[in-house]
Structure 1
């Protein structure tokens, strides 16, 4: 995934310098033929660096290009992502296209949202429905037998590339990938969060990958409808005590970006539903206050939820900016529309620029209240209250 990069003035390696040079060439290319020239040389170098485990070279080149050539940065990030999640692999004398994929699930709960091992029977049922409704006929599918939290996904391009190859080998062998859950980091407890089903598929070189690639003209919308109807109910035993919404499986990085985007309105809906249940109060007794939080530029919006007759904040939601979103994007209006659609009557958008600050003691985000101050989100005293931040 494309990430915000921080400025680095350190000397970078020869390979990182060459990555930058080739990416700039691609960004400044004036024809498809020249694109192919630069892409082939970039692909050769990127593949070698993946085999060498050279994550630092990827990071250093992207850092430098983020400062000096944004278009080249995006071109290089796209290519690195593509090679981290897909490749051509040979098996028994035949070439196969290999793709790492993810099927995100948005969830919220007053209790902990599980991130746990997936029983073998459930795993096989999920594979059947993915094969029947999402992926092309004849695709060989392997799943990791673990439902991941965002904290537990691969943390680097090289880690992602390694997972792709492990799952790809499992797909060709028509098995699944067993994950050692004891090695998994603990996941933070949030009221609203995302879980990921991760897998890989292989198809003979050049053949359709998804159902909507096939000649019967199935669409993404049809695939999603069938996945929600047939596949999503299989997730219920994995998400005890949770409300959840499954998203369509897609290439790994595209699926992660789609879940990042979809999780923002979902967390607002979850927040209102939770407050209604926890407080036993109707929508008209609640207020949402929206504020933009700035560092050198607008970084994110934060929404403070509280009673309509007070300046206290019970809960908070962070709405991060994604992709090309910035100060010129009408994000505040989008947030307000989501809140009004879910039934909230009192929604206030503050014009002031809030500093991008967190609590000095606990590190939690501070949220705007109706007075224009930033405060902690604190629920009225109750047992087993989850974090007052929704992700």
Structure 2
């Protein structure tokens, strides 16, 4: 669940009031028939706003509902994500109309390195190879697809629902017509990290109601979980070499391609433990020390006006004998995560036992231990999220609780100082 800005909301426009009313009506619907009818109304309203680029109207409404009605907020967020990552097209041939459905899919790639993680334009032959593997191992028979010729860093992905809507429709048209897509004219600058995520974006198109992925085909419905796993394994096996050539010097892991927002959220969560492993590997190799020579300092951070809410943990690394922070990583919290873990009602709804669910802090400590870090300092106070005035990087809590910039030692080998 995205956390909107804390700015006070202006008076709602008529369009925003309509979004609020429909979202609240969906929450209160007493039958699926009523709910589906209301969802169609909401989709139509969102289509109009996204097509005309009125992202501000949607954001204002989400901000208001986040403060006043979380159930309606979740409903509206689910609706705007669904509408922006999908589309419906009608084609008429010889007087016969056929309706097609399109879905924007993200194929996340977890990457880690001591150097730089590539992004940008994908060469045509590489794009053709990846597209062939994607279609053969993931898509249902007869599904058309178009892969964007760009390896996206997170800073280069669509920044709003309106931009996602535009990207979905552009790629969907290319998939249906079989026409090529031009690479980004000028991709946004990417921040250098030791571990980061890259994305392939793909639009897939099929007749309305037809299966999109292999595991949705009738012959696999009784064993769709197994087929999903098989599809992922084939995608990883067949595409990994091609992706590795596209991202030289990187360790990689291909995740299951899924609908855009779900795939991005899953990748955001899974890159976090990779960041810890990459940081420890980088520090031990660069400084010529053992993991047991390092100390980790873990602290919770949040916005000043967030009433004690922790939005992220920041993990600072020092040598055991000093307090100087030499490196740091950020572990953001998503959705219903908080410092106490997933709420009890979420566990009960999922049929899970409470002891099987780790709180984020326990996860962090576990991954640090697995990486060989045995000396860990935890600050129990919550810090205000502050950033460096010069480079914009996050400030980290040192062992005594002062917020400082992470700086590698002056005698560290050159060439790595851009990582922070």
Which residue of the partner structure matches residue 78 of structure 2?
78
Deviation digits for residues 308-336 of structure 1 (CA, Å, limit 9, x no counterpart): 22212111010111001123222111101
Query: C-alpha offsets along residues 10-30 of structure 1, whole Å, 9 cap, x if unaligned?
Result: 123211111111111112223
Q: Corresponding residue for 2:379?
A: 350
- How far is 1:244 from its partner? 1.9
Farther-moved stretch of structure 1 (37-46 vs 252-261):
37-46
Residue 39 of structure 2: aligned partner: 39
Partner of 2:297: 289
Counterparts of 1:292 and 1:300, CA distance in 2 = 6
- Flag the 1:363–1:20 CA change in 2: closer, same or farther, 3 A: same
Paired with 1:273 and 1:210, the residues of 2 have a C-alpha distance of 37
Aligned partner (choices 302, 307, 313) of residue 314 of structure 2? 302
Q: Structure 1: where are the runs of 5+ without partners?
A: none
2:415 to 377, 384, 387: 384
1:127 aligns with: 131
1:258-297 → structure 2 map (5 Å cutoff)? 258-295=266-303, 296=306, 297=309
1:277-336: CA deviation from partner (whole Å, max 9, x where unpaired) = 211212111121111113322121000112122212111010111001123222111101
Q: 1:317 aligns with which of 322, 329, 350?
A: 329
Instruction: Measure how far apart 1:194 and its partner are.
Output: 1.3
1:334-366 deviation per Cα after TM superposition (whole angstroms, max 9, x unaligned): 101111122222233222222322234443211
Q: Deviations over 1:358-382 (max 9, x none)?
A: 2344432111222233222111233
Taking only aligned residues, the RMSD between alpha carbons, in angstroms, comes to 1.7
Superposition map of 1:184-333 within 5 A: 184-214=187-217, 215-216=219-220, 217=223, 218-295=226-303, 296=306, 297-329=309-341, 330-333=359-362
Paired residues for 1:55-94 under 5 Å: 55-91=55-91, 92=93, 93-94=97-98
1:98 aligns with 2:102: yes
Check conservation: 1:288, 1:306, Cα contact below 8 A: yes
Alpha-carbon distance change, 355 to 45 in structure 1, aligned in 2, over 3 angstroms: closer
Equivalent residues of 1:95, 1:205 under 8 A apart: yes
TM-score (norm 2): 0.88
Work out the number of aligned pairs and report it: 388
> Given that residues 7 and 64 in structure 1 are in contact (C-alpha distance below 8 angstroms), is that contact kept between their aligned partners in structure 2?
no
The yes-or-no answer on 1:9 pairing with 2:9 is: yes
Alpha-carbon displacement from aligned partner over 1:192-249 (angstroms, at most 9, x marks no partner): 2211111101112111111211223353222221111111221112111222222111
Q: What is the distance in 1 between the residues matched to 2:202 and 2:9?
A: 38
Query: CA offsets per residue over residues 70-104 of structure 1, 9 Å max, x none?
Result: 11111101111101011221234422110001111
- Distance across 1 between alignment mates of 2:394 and 2:367: 22
SS in structure 1 of the partner of residue 401 of structure 2: coil
- C-alpha separation in 2, matches of 1:224 and 1:342: 27
SS at match of 1:298: coil
Distance 1:280 1:138 in 2: 54
Shift of 1:3: 4.1
Q: TM (normalized to structure 1)?
A: 0.94
Gaps of 5+ in 2: 342-358
